[in-house]
Amino acid sequence: MIITTTDVIQGAQIEAYLGIVTAEVVYGSNALRDFFAGIRDFIGGRTGSYERVFEKGHQDAIAELQQRALRLGANAILGVEVDTGTINIDQSGVLLLITATGTAVKLRS
């Protein structure tokens, strides 16, 4: 399956637009990871543990997006966009939210 951020695929013809597909991935916070991120925030530098969480989240969201597009009979997803955010659950915790969206299409073979 072709998954791209562009709205066209050079040399390909779209046979059918199958609809917008979305996928969401939500991760809970982790006390140990938060502790070390807090230290890193204080002394400066990158927070590798959260970078890995977001990297995995992007991969998981795109994989879920692909599965949802396949169920529609798509062989490509155009205009893919991945967004990140947080959901505050109370004063002591947040959830990490990663959303992927695109247009499922059937390309002419």
**Residue 102's pLDDT is what?**
98
Task: State which residues of the chain have pLDDT below 50.
Answer: 31-33, 35-37, 39-40, 42
Q: Compute the distance between CA of residue 36 and CA of residue 16 in angstroms, rounded to an integer.
A: 49
**Cα(61)–Cα(6) distance, integer angstroms:** 18
Residue 46 has a pLDDT of 59
pTM of the model: 0.78
Q: Do 1 and 76 contact (CB within 8 A), yes or no?
A: yes
How many residues belong to the chain? 109
What pLDDT is attached to residue 100?
97
For 23-42, write each residue's pLDDT tens digit.
999 887 654 445 444 544 54
**Domains in the chain: boundaries:** 2-107
Predicted local distance difference test score (pLDDT) of residue 39: 47
CATH number of 2-107: 3.30.110.70
